A and B are shown apart, each in its own frame.
Chain A
Amino acid sequence: MDAEFWAAVIAGAILAGMPLLLAALGEMVSEQAGILNIGLEGMMLFGAYGGFVVANWTGSSWLGFLGALIAGMAVAMLMVVFCVRMGRDQIVVGIAILLSMQGLTSLLHQVQFGESYPRLDGVPSIPIPGLSKIPVIGPSVFDQPLMFYIGIVLIFVVGWVLNKTNLGLNIRAAGWKPVALDNAGVDVLKIRTIAVLVTGGLAGLGGGYMAIIAAGVFVPFMTHGQGFIAIVIAMLARGRSVWVLIGSFLFGIALSITTALQLVGVQVSTDLINMLPFLVVILALALFARQSYLPAALALPFERGKR
């Protein structure tokens, strides 16, 4: 196997890791604000569907990503209404969102695309001058669609907002000390609403990335459990966005290596090879979970006047 092959393996890791990165980043914001978003996969799925529909109709991947963002936020509104505003159980509502989005997108897909199964043209990549010429890493990492670079930038933007701004402080306070935040005169429900909508938007973008760039097609149930892996990554990240980046690409690399091992003809059981990405996640949990700490008010509804 030549350099082109290994470049494709790294590119494959990015392709697999980016939807996770965007969704996990969103989940991290939500968790920091005290909302456990079990319905993340549903938001990804609806984002994938919305993004695909818009990109397919307009022929523009950018409008597609806008559609994905809005679709994810629309689903997140359900979480806002039921969990933030009405104080319903976040796990139950999250599961309901997941199941309903699976059913809804499957139904909509059947009605709209059941006969035609349209596929999108590839999204053009943007080579970074100089860096894209580096062997193996150049064409795989520095010759990607613009959305990839935006995703990387978002990591640092979210990290900066969470750690260096008043809004970020309020978000973290909504997850750790919502009563204190309320006493300080900040509307906890408003902060949590913002956080959940940001989560929905980012999860939608993750789904959109999957449908528009990673697959170029929408098929029912295509998120394939990635939302739950994103939740795990967000928990391991403990509010640090760079760890989301590391965790997502660790999973993506593991997934891509499973392909590479098979293609180079490594005589190991396919079952074992396919377990690799999940073993990586379990290993990461075993190594870091004990140190992981979650916001004190995570998954707890907030009601003014109640402690």
Chain B
Amino acid sequence: MKHPTYRHLVVLMLILALVLSSVALAACGGGDDASTDTGDGGDATESPAGIEVTKVAVITPEKGNDYGWNQMGVESAQKAAAAMGAECIVQDGAGYGDITPIINQLAEEEPQLIFAWASGYQTVAANMAQQLQIAMTSADPGTEEANIPMLVNAVEENAQDGAYLAGILAANMTKTDTIAIVASADDLNWAKMGGGYIAGARSVKPDIKILYVQIGQAGYADAAGGKRVTQNAISGGADIIFGFGDGSSFGMMQACETATPPAGADNVYFIDVIGDKSSLDEKGIYLSSVVWDFEQVDTQLIEMLEAGTFGEESVYLGLDNGLSLLQTDLIPEDVWTACEEAKAGIMDGSIEVPLTTSAEEVKAMIAAGE
């Protein structure tokens, strides 16, 4: 028998290499099914594989007890996780800076999904999701371009629809026929709500006077500014204040509580956004709030991750899944009925709410109606 030559050994090595690489490719292929389609048929390649979600995390820029954006973000994630039988890690008060170290720390806990709960987190969330291969949400703006299959899913709010209902409420409740929007900052959602509010109010009273004032470029926590600006709006004749803010909302509420109502009005009422502060209202000024409850949205995102459809399309908060106008005892029955009718109209498409995306568009809309 001939001993194997050098040439035989090379051929043998090549065959072994070929076999091993085939096995390795097959193994990798299984892992890549979530994001690639090889086009050779079969269940696994037609629908990306989902991930069983046992642990989620939520990161918010401020403390999760602000009766606003951060609290709703934390509570919604916790409720959605509980409903899906998953654990929820809360990292609130992460600030508006670079959250890369925080995400890295959270990644060690091995959550399958991280709710990165601020528009400012969008870029870093997308980068870290790809780097760590952990699914993350991307809040505001929830454009489809932000979506990455099984890694990033955008979340957007149809906030203008809720604000439209608030506009109907305000127009029905005002005694001075002057209402005001007080915005804490230059913010996409505030702009969307401004336009919806104006349209809703004018659908009831086309000649209603609407004042618009912004505290600053980022006065989210400027409570003193909120009070000062709201006082000026009240002195301008407004008896209903629609306030967009986080910490600054408390200053706005304080202004409504301590203000002398403008001529013709008995009270100054406050309409809030995102959270529900009615339990803090001791003076009877908290008329309502456009509440953003993300529990259903978060549940949907977890389900999408488990179904393997995460990152395919943006998820919207709307009147059908958590966006609502808060009913309080201060709202008369007939006014609430009008709001409910409008809600039905928006949901069946008979009412189309305009979309404004900047403070300038909101101001132009006000000016166009004067």
Which A residues are closer than 8 A to B by beta carbons? 1, 4-5, 7-9, 11-12, 15-16, 19, 106, 110, 114-117, 119-122, 210-211, 214-222, 224, 255-256, 259-260, 262-263, 265, 267, 269-271, 273-274
Contact = CB atoms under 8 A, between A and B. Distances in A.
Contact of B63 (A12, A110, A210, A263): A110
B224 A19 contact: yes
B235 A270 contact: no
A116 B257 CA distance: 16
Contacts of A217: 223, 227, 250-251, 254
Interface stretch (B1-9, B146-154, B207-215): B207-215
Contact of B211 (A215, A222, A263): A263
B85 interface: no
Contact of B236 (A5, A115, A116): A5
Nearest to B247: A219
A263 B217 CA distance: 16
Contacts of B359: 270
Leading 10 A-B pairs by shortest Cβ distance: A8-B235, A219-B247, A122-B258, A216-B254, A214-B224, A215-B223, A215-B224, A114-B65, A262-B213, A217-B250
Nearest to A277: B216
A37 to B, nearest CB: 21
A15 B219 CA distance: 16
A222 B370 contact: no
A208 to B, nearest CB: 12
Given A12-B229, A117-B280, A119-B280, 13 more contacts: A5-B237, A8-B232, A9-B232, A114-B63, A117-B67, A120-B254, A214-B228, A215-B224, A218-B223, A255-B228, A265-B366, A274-B186, A274-B217
B309 interface: no
A69 B146 CA distance: 50
Contacts of A19: 224
B88 interface: no
Nearest to B211: A263
A219 B223 contact: yes
Interface string B72-92: 000000000000000000000
A255 to B, nearest CB: 8
6 contacts: A15-B227, A15-B231, A219-B250, A270-B359, A271-B186, A274-B217
Given A117-B280, A219-B250, A262-B214, A12 B228 contact: yes
Given A114-B65, A115-B65, A117-B67, A263 B232 contact: yes
B228 A259 contact: yes
Main SS class of interface, A: helix
Nearest to A217: B250
Nearest to A275: B217
Contacts, number: 129
B257 A119 contact: yes
B83 to A, nearest CB: 24
A256 B235 CA distance: 13
Interface of B: 62-63, 65, 67, 93, 186, 211-214, 216-217, 219, 221-229, 231-237, 247-248, 250-251, 253-254, 257-258, 277, 280, 359-360, 363, 366-367, 370
Contacts of A262: 212-214
Contacts of A211: 224
Given A106-B93, A215-B227, A220-B247, A256 B232 contact: yes
B224 A15 contact: yes
Instruction: Find the residue from A15, A219, A255, A256 having the highest chain B CB count within 10 A.
Output: A219
A271 B218 CA distance: 11
A222 B221 contact: yes
B213 A267 contact: no
A71 to B, nearest CB: 17
Contact of B214 (A106, A210, A267, A270): A270
B161 to A, nearest CB: 24
A117 B250 contact: yes
A12 B232 contact: yes
A214 B224 CA distance: 5
Contacts of A4: 235
Contact of A1 (B212, B236, B280, B367): B236
Contacts of A116: 280
Given A117-B67, A263-B236, A265-B370, A210 B224 contact: yes
A163 to B, nearest CB: 32
Contacts of A117: 67, 250, 277, 280
Nearest to A117: B280
Contacts of A270: 186, 214, 359-360, 363
A262 B232 CA distance: 10
Contacts of A119: 250, 253-254, 257, 280
Instruction: Find the residue from B219, B231, B234 having the highest chain A CB count within 10 A.
Output: B231
Contacts of B62: 220
Contacts of B212: 262
Contact of B213 (A7, A15, A263, A271): A263
A267 B367 contact: yes
A217 B224 CA distance: 8
Contact of A256 (B226, B228, B254): B228
A19 B226 CA distance: 15
A121 B254 CA distance: 8
A51 to B, nearest CB: 13
B258 A121 contact: yes
A116 B280 CA distance: 7
A15 B228 contact: yes
A120 B214 CA distance: 24
Nearest to B180: A263
Contact of A216 (B63, B211, B227): B227
Contacts of A256: 228, 232
